[in-house]
Amino acid sequence: MSGVEASGLGKRYGRTWALRECSLAIPAGVVAALVGPNGAGKTTLLNLAVGLVSPSAGKVTVLDGLSAGSPTALDGIAFVAQDTPLYKNLSAADTLHLTRNLNRRFDQQYARSRLDELGIPLKRRVGKLSGGQKAQLALTLALARHPRLLILDEPMAMLDPLARHDFMATVLTAAVDDGVSVLLSSHVLAELARVAEYLLLISHGRVQVAGEVDDLLAHHRVLTGPAVQADRCAERLTVVHARRGEAQAHLLVRTNGGADPVPDGWESHSIGLEELALAYLREPGASALPGPERVQHVEPSVSR
């Protein structure tokens, strides 16, 4: 079962490719984190998956083979766009009423109950709500459609830490309790590390990393050892990113799942999702994609 699948997907605006040769297969039933620098093509990919724009090349399907943007696909997808766009002059109650009339399926009772639990006044205008309340309102509108796939584009960008935590708790509850597949784009790596089961990292419009988080972490580690031996180690290992000081070097390497021996005089350390993502963001030429033919060797960068 697939949540989102693409083959040779590309989108061009004029002469500029926002996304190019994008092939991926995000499984259904997971919380997938979409990570990348500004301008990498994240929003373009999400808009293609929703069906808001048409591809210039390749194709994208959702929910186990449905064409993105088709009526059947749209019935199963809920989308919260960047900056959670809402009509600021409408009250929360009017927003629920409008959304109900614009959708074939909308659980009004669920939406009202959830806003009541969150303490969001139904009579208050959206423009008078706090940033956290606006984000929760937008999320409530999405979840009240009981989607099979929830797509979120930078929903936490303007939220404080407590509001981010509450927002992600709601997303995780929907994923676990209701079996909703989630594709979430965000720069807040610490929050993603807490909930993500699948990582998709894109850079310069191309997929750079794709895979289950546990598998990716099992196949990467940090080696710490003498700086004078760093170049020799790099010759024998697949180095993603290197940091070297006067005495000690830190090499983030791709392994065969722990089978690679640790060089004499070096120590091996496990890593987390945030550290892994940052390493690949620093090395846009590196790749961690399915299949050994897709793995590239990256010469270590040096910072003193």
pLDDT (tens digit, 9 = 90+) per residue, 71-88?
999 999 999 988 778 999
Q: Given a cut of 50, is residue 138 above it in pLDDT?
A: yes
Cα(275)–Cα(277) distance, integer angstroms: 6
Structural domain ending residue among the three candidates 154, 183, 212:
212
What are the distances in angstroms from CA 248 to CA 20, 110, 117, 225, 240? 39, 56, 53, 6, 17
Residue-wise pLDDT tens digits, 22-74: 999 999 999 999 999 999 999 999 999 999 999 999 999 999 999 999 999 99
Q: Can you tell me which residue has the tokens 């990498």? A: 40
Q: Which of 121-130, 166-175, 256-265, 283-292 has the highest mean pLDDT?
A: 121-130
- Residue 302 falls inside a structural domain: no
Q: Are residues 153 and 196 in the same domain?
A: yes
Q: Are residues 17 and 33 in the same domain?
A: yes
Average pLDDT over all residues of the chain: 89
How many domains is the chain partitioned into structurally?
A: 2
pLDDT of residue 259: 63
* Helices 108-118, 92-102: inter-axial angle, 10-degree rounding: 160
Q: Are residues 124 and 266 in the same domain?
A: no
Q: Are residues 199 and 155 in the same domain?
A: yes
- Domain range for 284: 219-294
pLDDT of residue 291: 53
Q: Are residues 207 and 227 in the same domain?
A: no
Residue-wise pLDDT tens digits, 195-208: 999 999 999 999 99
Strand order in the sheet with 16-27: 16-27, 2-13, 57-62, 66-67
Q: Are residues 237 and 100 in the same domain?
A: no
Name residues whose C-beta falls within 8 Å of residue 58's C-beta, 6 or more positions apart in sequence. 6, 7, 8, 9, 10, 21, 22, 23
- Residue 251 falls inside a structural domain: yes
Residue-wise pLDDT tens digits, 221-232: 999 999 998 888
pLDDT of residue 236: 82
